[in-house]
Amino acid sequence: MAPPSRRECPFPSRRFPGLFLAALALLLSSRSDACGPPPTFVAMELTSRPKPYYKVGEQVEYDCKKGYHHFAPFLTHTVCDRNHTWLPISDAPCVKKVCHYIPNPAHGQAILANGTYSFGNQLHFICNDGYYLIGKAILYCELKGSDAVWSGRPPICQKILCKPPPTIKNGKHTFSEVDVFEYLDAVTYSCDPAPGPDPFSLVGESTIYCRDSLGWSGDPPECKVVKCRFPVIENGRQTAGFGKKFYYNAAVMFECYEGFHIIGSDTIVCNSNSTWDPPVPKCVKELPPSSTKPPTLSHSVSTSLATTSLTSSVSGPRPTYKPPVSRYPGYPNPDEGMLDGLDEWAIALIVIAILVGVAIISVGLHRYLQRRKKKGKPDDTAEYATYHSKSATLAEQKS
């Protein structure tokens, strides 16, 4: 049988790779002679739809974006150059639109937050002392359509004026005849004479002033009788603030007697409710140390335990701790007495040692001098006698 015949492919396998490479080379060569997409800008945009690549010499046009306007004579187009790059341009031809100029308000200032009137910026308003702002304190330069406009009307600065301050019961204020008060005008309150034996006290700030458009700097004071009871403290005494009667803001100081300590504040003040603030303190017996330490024992018990401790040191084991002694003021402390006795004995021993040392040195020096006399020349006395006799003989001969 004859072998089956092969069907020839219209594109032989040997020719297909060559054709594919040729087409790819043609495509790359056509793109290598072109520019890529044109540059983008903040203030400009293309007037036509961008393409993936452009031929050499091809030109594109730009237009200013919304909120910007063209500023001649800068160019707004570019061309694909022979080196396959776009000729350099910038978005300098397009500048931001600005809102109209707003001057400083009377008795105030208009301050640009970013230094320009272009859209997106803010304008802040402040008033001078003695004036307050009526309107919006901040305006924004915004885009409406293709124009830049402010977000509202500029505010004004109005002079600060206050109505007369409130009147009070049992008292009055200065300048009661004035109907309108200007900025920082002040009034002072005072109380009327009381009908009874105790005077009225002015409770609160005596002076208030016209602060701003909302009114005065604070609430007015009140006039009323404020009288606190005579303060009494047991086991203590008063040291300051003496008086027969104690009215508003009267201050008193206390201290406790020896052996007592104060609970509370040593200084109290008569407040507007006719009570002492803080309350009158108390003087109580001084308490022993905190419960974290062993309990305090009396002197007799402490002495008994100390004796037991000394006895047990000979006949049995010692206790695990030495009980503490009393800490009351003026109470004798055996440990402190023992330490004082030890200090006195130490001083006495030092003095005795110094005296003994001086005595030893004196005795040694005396013995040393005696030995030196004994070891001296034996003819010293004889020579002195012979010299004395010769002197006497010569004297007689001369006479």
What is the full DSSP assignment across 53-84? -EETT-EEEEEEPTTEEE-TTS--EEEB-TTS
pLDDT of residue 329 exceeding 90, the answer is no
pLDDT of residue 91: 85
Q: What angle do CA 169, 170, 175 make, to 5 degrees?
A: 80
Tens of pLDDT along 188-220? 999 999 999 999 999 999 999 999 888 999 999
Question: pLDDT tens-digit profile of 46-71?
Answer: 999 989 889 999 999 999 998 888 87
Look up residue 192 and give its two tokens.
């009327």
As a residue count, the chain comes to 399
* pLDDT over threshold 80, residue 224: yes
Which whole number is the average pLDDT over 391-395? 47
Which residue, 121, 57, 61, is CA-closest to 93? 61
Task: Provide the sign of the torsion angle of the four alpha carbons 205, 209, 210, 211, taken in this order.
Answer: negative
Above pLDDT 90, what percent of the chain?
51
Report residue 328's pLDDT band, with 50, 70 and 90 as the boundaries: very low
pLDDT for 347 equals 85
* Lowest mean pLDDT, pick from 221-235, 273-287, 293-307, 313-327: 313-327
Pick the CATH number of 161-225 from 2.30.110.10, 3.40.50.620, 3.20.20.70, 2.10.70.10: 2.10.70.10
Quickly count: other Cβ atoms within 10 Å of residue 157's Cβ. 21
pLDDT tops 70 at residue 3: no
| pLDDT higher than threshold 70 for residue 389 | no
Highest mean pLDDT out of 5-19, 128-142, 286-300, 329-343? 128-142
Is the predicted pLDDT of residue 318 greater than 90, yes or no? no
> Could you tell me the pLDDT band of residue 142, with boundaries at 50, 70 and 90?
very high
Under 8 Å CB-to-CB from 50, ≥6 apart: which residues?
37, 38
Question: What pLDDT is stored for residue 234 in this prediction?
Answer: 93
pLDDT digits (tens, 9 = 90+) for 347-373: 888 888 898 888 889 888 888 888 777
CA–CA dist 67, 78 (Å, integer): 22
Mean pLDDT (whole number) for 33-54? 90
Q: Is the dihedral of CA 86, 91, 92, 94 positive or negative?
A: positive
Q: Which of 9-23, 96-110, 129-143 is predicted with the least confidence, judged by mean pLDDT? A: 9-23
Of residues 357 and 283, the one with the higher pLDDT is 283
pLDDT for the residue numbered 261: 94
**pLDDT for the residue numbered 174:** 96
Instruction: Write down the pLDDT at residue 343.
Output: 63
Please tell me whether the peptide bond between 38 and the residue prior to it is cis, using omega within 30 degrees of 0: no
Is the pLDDT reported for residue 281 higher than 60?
A: yes
Q: How many CA atoms lie within 13 A of 124 on its CB side?
A: 6
Residue found by looking up tokens 């020839």 in the block? 8
Domain over 108-159 is classified CATH 2.10.70.10: yes
Nearest one of 259, 258, 252 to 281, comparing CA atoms: 252
What percent of the chain lies above the pLDDT cut of 70? 71
Of residues 254 and 339, the one with the higher pLDDT is 254
Question: Using CA atoms, how far apart are residues 265 and 287, in angstroms rounded to an integer?
Answer: 18
Count Cβ atoms within 10 A of the Cβ of residue 356 and give its class: 0-12 exposed, 13-18 middle, 19 or more buried: exposed
Q: What does the pLDDT read at residue 342?
A: 52
Local confidence band at 374 (pLDDT 50, 70, 90 cut-offs): low
**pLDDT (mean) for 130-159:** 93
Angle between helices 299-315 and 334-374 (to 10 degrees): 60
Q: Is the pLDDT of residue 394 over 90?
A: no
Dihedral sign of CA atoms 81, 86, 87, 93 in order:
positive
Lowest mean pLDDT across 34-43, 59-68, 162-171, 324-333? 324-333
User: What's the distance, CA 115 to chain centroid?
Assistant: 35
CA distance 123 to 136: 10
Higher pLDDT, 30 or 267: 267
Query: What are the φ and ψ backbone dihedral angles of 64, each rounded to 5 degrees?
Result: -70, 145
276 pLDDT more than 70:
yes
- Residue intervals of the chain classified under CATH 2.10.70.10 are 33-96, 108-159, 161-225, 227-285
Give strand pairing partners of 255: 237
What is the per-residue pLDDT for 311? 36
- In the CATH hierarchy, which fold is given to the domain comprising 33-96? Complement Module; domain 1 (2.10.70)
Q: Sign of torsion, CA 9 11 13 15?
A: positive
pLDDT at 331 > cutoff 90? no
Find the mean pLDDT for residues 136-160. 93
Distance CA 306, CA 371 (A): 58
Dihedral angle over CA of 65, 71, 73, 78, nearest 10 = -10
pLDDT for 286 equals 78
One-letter amino acid at 110 equals A
C-alpha span between 308 and 393 (Å, rounded): 93
Give exposure, 368-389, as e/b (b: 16+ Cβ within 10 Å): eeeeeeeeeeeeeeeeeeeeee
Q: Which CATH class is domain 227-285?
A: mainly beta
**Average pLDDT over the chain, rounded to an integer:** 78
Instruction: Provide the residue type at 261 as one letter.
Output: H
pTM of the model as a whole: 0.51
